[in-house]
């Protein structure tokens, strides 16, 4: 198994040779190479930029590669994913699967690509071309509904499971991670284990997972757990710092200013959350007590936060 995340270009043919060299047990090798298109939704682009979390991204990809090898009879897997700024025509991702027979190699390659397109911890920013009428602009984009549907075919929802509705907490037994647009993967990975332990769930085939549905358009990108049991998240789609209490369902949305597009979030030693603020090219800190946004070296008060009561409903 080979997994690499890199800025530099890769040589697909060389990677295939490296995987199959000296092997007489391999009867099929399937390769998929994803390229950067020159347009997004019909508009020409100059480039796209891919960001990721070092360490976590490799671990998540490795976890899904292991799932593929346990599901299909594979003799080798290579996954290479580029990050940074990529221009149209350049390679983005390479998936190579090897098996004794073509069926397993094809299926595993499709499985891994569906995962990489929808659930891998990568974030894509599209840089559109400027012309005489418009200035250059950059948009962060999420997974497409068609990609989500393709990924769902590998792990169907168990009978009796429910999907969360906006404004409520739904709990259901699932054997797969939920769709990216339903819930941020970071919230799931931090909160779900604690809830499972607290509820003393007995051994079963599917873990008990709780879904915390955020308001439509939130587009959460990162989350950090505070010492008091609450969580802070970056709501990139709304330009906010979100503060959520799983125990009460209370949600605060703290605006970070015009053009805000927060990404990563960590909790400082004093309990204050820090956000990487790509939209304003700054680092933002939110004082927990007065809920004041401090960006870069210039301190300024943010608009008054809004509180949204959340009703907790347990789904059967």
Query: Each residue of 47-80: pLDDT tens digit?
Result: 989 888 788 888 888 988 998 999 999 999 999 9
Query: Strand pairing of 208-212 and 220-225?
Result: unpaired
Q: How far apart are CA 256 and CA 301, in angstroms?
A: 9
Please state, rounded to an integer, the average pLDDT across all residues of the chain.
75
Sequence-separated (6 or more) residues with CB below 8 Å from residue 287: 272, 294
Nearest to 47 by CA among 131, 122, 137: 137
Taking alpha carbons only, the member of 190, 188, 160, 167 closest to residue 176 is 188
Res. 32 pLDDT band, cuts 50 70 90: very high
Which segments within 88-150 are labelled E, that is strand? 91-99, 122-128, 137-141
Q: How far apart are CA 50 and CA 276, in angstroms?
A: 16
Give residue 135's pLDDT.
54
The pLDDT assigned to 172 comes to 31
Query: What percentage of the chain carries pLDDT values higher than 70?
Result: 67
Average pLDDT over residues 115-133: 77
Span 233-278, pLDDT tens digits: 998 878 889 998 888 888 888 888 888 888 889 988 888 899 888 7
Whether residue 130 has pLDDT greater than 80: no
* Rounded Cα–Cα distance for residues 205 and 214 (Å): 28
Confirm if 200 and 194 have CB atoms less than 8 A apart.
no
Reduced to 3 states (helix: H, G, I; strand: E, B; else coil), residue 222 is strand
The CA-based angle 180-177-70, given to 5 degrees, is: 130
pLDDT for res 168: 31
The residues, ordered by sequence, that sit 6+ positions from 279 with a Cβ below 8 Å of its Cβ are 239, 259, 260, 261, 262
Question: What's the average model confidence in pLDDT over 2-16?
Answer: 93
Report CA Rg, the chain: 21
Q: Where are the domains of the chain?
A: 2-152, 169-308
pLDDT of 107 reads 93
For the domain bounded by 169-308, which CATH number is listed? 2.130.10.10
2-152 is classed CATH 3.40.250.10: no
Residue 302: per-residue pLDDT? 44
- Residue 290 pLDDT > 50: yes
Q: How far is CA 123 from CA 94, 277, 287, in A?
A: 17, 14, 27
Chain-centroid distance of CA 267 in Å reads: 20
């Amino acid at each position: 198994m080979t997994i690499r995340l890199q800025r530099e270009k890769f040589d697909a043919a060389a990677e295939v040779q490296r995987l199959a060299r000296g092997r007489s047990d391999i009867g099929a090798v399937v390769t998929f190479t994803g390229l950067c298109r020159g347009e997004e939704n019909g508009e020409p682009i100059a480039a796209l930029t891919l960001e990721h979390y070092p360490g976590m991204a490799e671990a998540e990809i490795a976890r899904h590669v292991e799932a593929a090898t346990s599901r299909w009879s594979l003799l080798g897997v290579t996954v290479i994913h580029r990050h940074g700024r990529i221009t149209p025509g350049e390679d983005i991702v390479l998936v190579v699967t090897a098996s004794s027979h073509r069926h397993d190699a094809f299926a595993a390659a499709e499985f891994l690509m569906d995962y990489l397109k929808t659930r891998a911890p990568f974030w894509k920013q599209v840089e559109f071309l400027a012309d005489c009428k418009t200035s250059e602009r950059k948009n962060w984009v999420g997974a497409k509904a068609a990609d989500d549907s393709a990924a769902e075919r590998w792990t169907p929802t168990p009978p009796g499971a429910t999907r969360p509705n906006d404004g409520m907490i739904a709990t259901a037994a699932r054997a797969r991670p939920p769709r990216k647009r339903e819930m941020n993967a970071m919230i799931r990975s931090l909160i779900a284990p604690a809830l499972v332990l607290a509820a003393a769930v007995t051994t079963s085939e599917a873990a008990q997972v709780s879904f915390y549905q955020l308001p439509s358009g939130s587009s959460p990108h990162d989350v950090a757990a505070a010492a008091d049991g609450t969580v802070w998240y970056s709501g990139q789609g709304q330009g906010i710092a979100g503060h959520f209490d799983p125990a009460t369902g209370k949600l605060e949305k703290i605006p970070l200013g015009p053009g805000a597009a927060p990404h990563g979030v960590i909790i400082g030693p004093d309990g204050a959350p820090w956000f990487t603020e790509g939209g304003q090219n700054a680092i933002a800190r939110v004082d927990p007590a007065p809920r004041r946004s401090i960006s870069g070296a210039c301190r300024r008060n943010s608009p008054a936060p809004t509180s949204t009561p959340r009703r907790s409903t347990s789904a059967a």
